[in-house]
Structure 1
Amino acid sequence: TLLVNHTGGSDFILLGLFSQSKHPTLLCTVIFVIFMMALTGNAILILLIHSNAHLHTSMYFFISQLSAMDVMYISATVPKMLMDQVMGVKKISVPECGIQMFLYLTLGGSEFFLLAAMSYDRYMAICHPLHYPVLMNHKICFLLASGCWFLGSVDGFMLTPITMTFPFCRSREIHHFFCEVPAVMKLSCSDTTLIETLMYLCCVLMLLIPVIVISSSYTFILLTIHRMNSAEGRKKAFTTCSSHMTVVILFYGAAIYTYMIPSSYHTPEKDMVVSFFYTILTPVLNPLIYSLRNKDVTGAMKKMLNVEPVKK
């Protein structure tokens, strides 16, 4: 009964980004533009990859998976936040909060592992080019991507029920723009040391395994690039890898700050800025990083735009 009284009785209040801003209307417009850019950029990238036979390779298959994750990731938090600002509502029900938490944990976790799978794919392409078509065929890529989604969902299924079943008897105000685990846990009146330790261990595994895969892959890649005789081959390999490394640094850096740095170093303002960075800005940057620096994608885009007239 204690749990029902405390958790099921009332809604949470998301204080959000706009309560901190001197110009909430301008910020709302900017976030809406960023949201539309993220949706459009990722949708175009998925469309190009699926419609162009030249892009039906493992690298682009993983990029399309990343774009799909980004579309869902940004859609789990931003539309609710914008609608609340427009309607003048700040409430979020307990079930809605749990769903939002589960989605961002699952999608964030899946993205960690997908970035590791992508680095492994680059390692196979650059270090074992002759065996690459066999070792990274469509079936293996599909299994790797499925594994990434599964491991991400384990994170969601583990942390969401634990967090949402804590008795909340302090203020119902969440100092955040969505239901992020650390922000929700601050409202609990019981001892959260155990879940904080569990979350830390969970994130160590979620980050450590992909980081080992990524750093090992790039160590071998850099050694192989260094040994290449062809300047053109070296340049192409370096461009492909630097795009991926940019995404990895952006995403992992923000996640390490949120989940692995002790809470004493955190402030609600800092947490919101970091979360804004990886939940809203990263999904809009990913398609730009992968398309603008990639000749195959820009070539496919030009081909799609320059539609040849039908011959009579």
Structure 2
Amino acid sequence: MADATQKRSRFQTLTTGKKVQFVIASVLTASLIVGLPVFAWFSRQRQIAELQQIREPDLLYITAANAEDVKYFDLSTIRVKDSNNNAISEPEYYPFAVAGKYVNKFTLQMAHTTNNPFIYNIYEGTAYTTRAAAETAAGQNGVVLEYKLNGEWSTLAENGVILTGEPKPIAKSEQQTTIYIVKGNQLSGSYLNDTTAADGRTIADTTYHAKSYDDYSYSNIVRFEEPLYWQCSGIQSLPAGSPYVGYPFMKTFVLEISWTAEDVAAGRINNDKETDIVYLSAFRK
């Protein structure tokens, strides 16, 4: 209860401008979808996993890059212009993982507002313990992300053998441990309620408005605060032939956030940004 109260307090104290907050869902089960409390943008009764029925009991959760128990990241440091006021073309990358009891396949969902014309894509990721191994796997044009473990992590082993459900503090000797994540293939998901605005920006239509805002009519909602819903189904939890079928698993992903030079030039996005919410969830296919 104390943890939930702390999370609720974090949301209630967030400002509505000049900060981008990346919110990751907590624990997901078949009978109850437990999400973080959010603004009026997402109704308290909104359950993203209702978009598809969960058929069997399971326990899946979204973590940081290595089964750590970090549930959200601050993206306010995204810069779209350099010190000379020129548009930056390199995207920002944020690794995360889906972990939990074994499932053959699962569905990954993302919901986000569109106050900033960011472009969101999710890729598979593979973690390595050395930069040399990661760079070899990535090849000349691949993307390698350096990620330092911190905070707390689960006792879920990378090979999926152990899952106690209880976090443990990282030992001092482990706190500077660095892993290297290679960005892999893009997931073949798609938006469920997208439309195109007059300025060419992808925004949400009203398909899921009633579920997103139980108490607000569409006329009272700013169009960029209507959340877009993205979904990718049939994701294999383990590679073919894995000896760990039936054991708890962990699968790494990379969230890529990019933008266009045209949007920067037109002033639709700046380093001084508006607030957007990004929400991820996972459940058995």
TM-score range, shorter chain: under 0.3
TM-score, normalising length: structure 2? 0.24
Of Structure 1 and Structure 2, the greater helix share is in 1
Whose radius of gyration is greater, 1 or 2? Answer: 1
Of Structure 1 and Structure 2, the greater strand share is in 2
TM-score, normalising length: structure 1? 0.23
